[in-house]
Each structure stands twice: as structure tokens, then as C-alpha cells.
Structure 1
Amino acid sequence: MAVRKTLDKRIGRRIYRGQRDPTWPLSSVFERSVFHLKGNDPSTDVDKALETKGGLWKTREGYWDRFYEYAHGLPGLPNAMSPEDWWILGRHHGLVTPLLDWSESPYIAAFFALTDYMEFMNPGFKLGMPTGGIKWGEGSIAIWELVEAGGMGSRNEEFQIIRPATEFSVHSLRVRAQKSVFTKLIHDVHLDLESYLGSRDLIACLERYDIPGVEAAKALRDLELMNITFSDLFPDLGGAAARANFGSSSWHLVGGML
């Protein structure tokens, strides 16, 4: 169900992001980490709030600098990596970054939102070890659609749309499997994509679709039939283990009856 109807529907390439909670802003982990500085005033200049630390830019780059310092030279890393490569690599391994994850597939985006939702409703779900009976039905999840139009996303602008080079070996398998795209917002006032696009009169490029929680289990079962699973999206030993746990759990027995 679309929750925003746009009169000025844009034409362009589309990317998708799934989120467990429709009320969550479209913000990166870094942006969420400084959101509290804005309070309830969307016009608050966060850079001023961080003056004692050298500003928002310096705080953001500090994560990159430290990650590079500790990771540079580790076995298996290419000799030549761009700053974006380091951000993406760090994002895949839990680094606080200004990158927001998207996919070129709405179904892959839905998978991540649905599994997060089921994990929230059933702690241990992703490990295949939920406690008690399997629960779903409350609330809904959100699938966001962003249309690349209106001149947005230039690499020289404060908002970037980044498509990683899939030949980069460190994260190429996951990038390819997940059809990964990243957005990067560098702004001192707007810390979420929705308010930023609104400030540029590009809000028509953003739409949200809500999926009722009651459909979560059936939707995950349908995605499995489409080969959208942990092992397909994470083509490594971790993904194989997650799929094995998931497929052997009580959830799978319930899902198989839907």
C-alpha cells in the first residue's frame, strides 16, 4: 500500500530500502548517532552543536581515519582502495558510516525489513533460535522507493548515490548478490533524506509502501521461493550458517504451512 501519492511522478532509475519501522527516518548510522543534537527542531545546525569537537565533518571523518588506521595492511585487502571503498568495507563490518544501504531490487529490500521485523517480534529469529512461539502481525514495515531524477546524486554534491565497482574483491560478492547501492548525505542541517529532498523540492522522487506485519511470514516464504535468502544474499560461510539455522528452525515449519 503506497502511503504517499505524488502528483508529479518522476521518471528515472529506482532504488529501494526496507525498514522495520515506517516511522524511522531515512538516516545513516552516523546521522542517527547525532540526531539527538537536533532535538525537535529540524533546522538546528548540528555543526554548531559539535563546535567543541571540530564540527560535524571532522567527527564523521574521524570514524574513517580510525578504521583506515586499524584495517590498512590487513591480509586480503587490495593495495589500492578509494575512500568510498573503505567506507563500504567498514559498513559491511559494522563501522559507523554516513552510508545508507539500498538495493536495486524491491524484493531484496523487503527481505531485510521483514527479517528485522521478525527478529524484533521473535528475539533469536535470525539465528534460527527464537524462544517461544513464532509471533507476527503487529504494525507494518516500510519499503522506500527513490527515483534518481532531478539532477540528484552527483558525486560532487552534498548528496551522492554510490554504485560500488563489483570487481572490488572485498565486498563484490555481497554487492552483486544484494544489488547494493548506497546513498551518502553530507549536510549540516538535514540529517535524513526525506527532509533533505524536501528542501530541494525533490520530495516527489521519494515514495513509501507499507506492508502489514500480518503478511510478514507469508512474504518471507514467498521470497524464499524466489531464492532471496540469507545464503543467497550473503554468499559466504556466515550466510550459509544463517540459512542452515533458519531452515532448521521452528519458524520454517510454521512458514511451510502458510
Structure 2
Amino acid sequence: MPKLVSQVRQICLEKSTLVAKVPEKQITKFSEYVKHLETLQGDFPGAPLWYRGSNNKDHNLVPGLYRHQKSTSSDEIGKLERELIARFRQRSMPFSDKVPQDDWGVLFYMQHHRIPTRLLDWSENPFIAFYFAVANAAYTKDVGGVITYTKDAVVWVLNPTTWNKHALDHVSYDGGILLTIDDEMKGYHPESTVGKMNNHPVAMYGIHNSPRIVAQRGVFTVSGQMVSGLDELYDQHRYPRKSLQKLVIPKENISALRESLFLYGITESVVYPDLDGLALEIKRFYKFEV
């Protein structure tokens, strides 16, 4: 009997480990990506899905503020955030008349200008995320000018509603994607003490403060006390299966997938609807690798 109990426990442990691991799938053709998107919508009919592209599959889903080399604890990160916000408020006014006055507005404005924050960018558009995964892929170039991509890329897929329900299960949250005005967001308010914030990251709608964020269908997750990435927390805290997924793009397939994406019209001037985007598009079109 003890042996049987031990075997049952081992089976349960193996199943638990299997469920906890972020589901992963390789994408080698653009048609596979489109087909998988259709499958996902079938798995979650009517539910919104969010996407995040990265040129390195090994990068965790950690916001910029939490990547500081020295400030690593939640208390240190909280102090660092308050200092960054104060410095930005003090020194940004001469450069723009659009700097918002409210705390959330400042945080989103900082994120837009690439100052490290607790925010992590996502997109409601799966093709925009695919662009960010492959268009900026890491590569080397030999003496003959031949490009070789060196790292697998990735598109992460998040079910924000399912994620939020689990992240806020301590308050029996049964809503959907959060807004800055929601009561649940008080536990993530900028300039709060991080040590008093909620633990898990949550999915939220942000402020559309630029044409780029509108074009990119930008949305966000915001982190709290826990300094681990969403992918790590998924493993550690038994998030519902498929609330987060990982679509890996092998480096040997990136070149062909880039061409497919551009042929479908997802180009630099679409993602960046300004002169910088147009310049990038012209450079790529005339074979200046960007």
C-alpha cells in the first residue's frame, strides 16, 4: 500500500508539473501562425487575447524597472520608481507641453519614452507582435554580407481576463481587463510603496498618449511586489492552463517569416506611423538591414 501511495503521489506531481509549464509551440511558417491564432480563438471564443513579440525567446516577461542590476528587492524597486518619477516630473516640462499631471498618466508617458517602469507592453494585434519578434531579430553578417540570425524569437500570448481572475483571486475578482480607475488598481498605484502593493502582475488598459500606441493597439501588464516575470509566476503559482502561451520562432525560419509578414503589409510605417517608421521601411526596402 505505501508503494501504491508513493506512485500515486509521483503521478500527481508529474501532472502538476506538466500543467504548470507554459505551453510552447514552434512556428516555422506564417500560415502556421495564422492557423494557430484561429485555434486560440476557438479555445477562448469571444475572449480578448494579447500578444507580445520579442527577438529572444529566453527573455523573461519582466518589466524594465525590475531589470535593474543593483535594486532587486521590492523595497529597492519601489524607492527607485519614486525617484525616477520625481526626476521625470522635474526635468521633462521644457521638452514637452503634453506631460500629464496625474500619476498614472506620468507612468504611461515615461513608458512611451522608454524610461524603465513597472509596465510591460502588449498588443491586441497578433501581427504587430509578430513584427516585433522578427523585424528586430538578432543577426550577424559575414564578410560577403550574408546575414545569419542568431537567436530564436518568440510571440507570447496572454489571456488577460483569465490571468486577472487568478492574480486577484485573494479578493475574489471576477471582472475582466482593468482600468486605472478601478478599485483593484489602488494596489498598483504609482508612487505607492511597492511593499504594500498586490503581489501579482495584472492586465490593464493604458492611456493612448501617442499615434504609435494607437497603431500598435497597445495594452499593458503592470507588476506589483513580485519581481519575477509573468512566465515564471505562471510556473510557480499554478495559473490556469493557456492563460499564457509561448510561440517560438526558430532562428533558421526568421528570414522567410519576415518576408511573409512584410508581404502581408505589416511594415515599419504601419507599426511606426511617422517619419521614423517610413525611414526604416525605405532602408529595408533598399536592402539596408534594419
Partner of 2:66: 31
Partner of 2:239: 202
Aligned partner letter, 1:64: I
Q: CA deviation at 1:134?
A: 3.5
Partner of 1:193: 230
Q: Give the structure-1-normalised TM-score.
A: 0.73
1:35-184 alignment runs, 5 A limit: 46-47=73-74, 55-72=76-93, 74-77=95-98, 80-117=100-137, 120-122=138-140, 133-150=145-162, 151=165, 152=167, 154=178, 155-157=185-187, 158=198, 159-166=201-208, 168=209, 171=210, 173-184=211-222
Q: Give the structure-2-normalised TM-score.
A: 0.66
Q: Tell me, yes or no, if structure 1 residue 249 matches structure 2 residue 270.
A: no
**Are 1:137 and 1:213, in contact at CA under 8 Å, matched by a contact in 2?**
yes
Give distance in 1, aligned partners of 2:289 and 2:239: 41
Aligned partner letter, 2:128: I
**Are 2:71 and 2:77, in contact at CA under 8 Å, matched by a contact in 1?**
no
**Are 1:64 and 1:87, in contact at CA under 8 Å, matched by a contact in 2?**
yes
Distance 1:250 1:62, change over 3 A: closer
Partner of 1:255: none
Distance 1:215 1:196, change over 3 A: same
Partner of 1:19: 54
Aligned partner letter, 2:86: D
Distance 1:246 1:66, change over 3 A: same
Q: How many aligned positions are there?
A: 220
Residue by residue over 1:123-144, the C-alpha shift from the partner in whole angstroms, topping out at 9 and shown as x without a partner, is 7xxxxxx985242354421111
Partner of 1:41: none
* 1:144 counterpart SS class: strand
Query: Runs of 5+ in structure 1 lacking a partner?
Result: 39-45, 124-129, 253-258
Q: CA deviation at 1:10?
A: 6.2
* 1:208 counterpart SS class: strand
* Structure possessing the higher radius of gyration over alpha carbons: 2
Q: Tell me, yes or no, if structure 1 residue 224 matches structure 2 residue 255.
A: no
Q: CA deviation at 1:183?
A: 1.1
Aligned partner letter, 1:149: T
Distance 1:58 1:251, change over 3 A: closer
* 2:128 counterpart SS class: helix
Residue by residue over 1:23-48, the C-alpha shift from the partner in whole angstroms, topping out at 9 and shown as x without a partner, is 111111111124x776xxxxxxx23x
Aligned partner letter, 2:55: R
Query: Runs of 5+ in structure 2 lacking a partner?
Result: 1-22, 26-42, 168-176, 179-184, 188-197
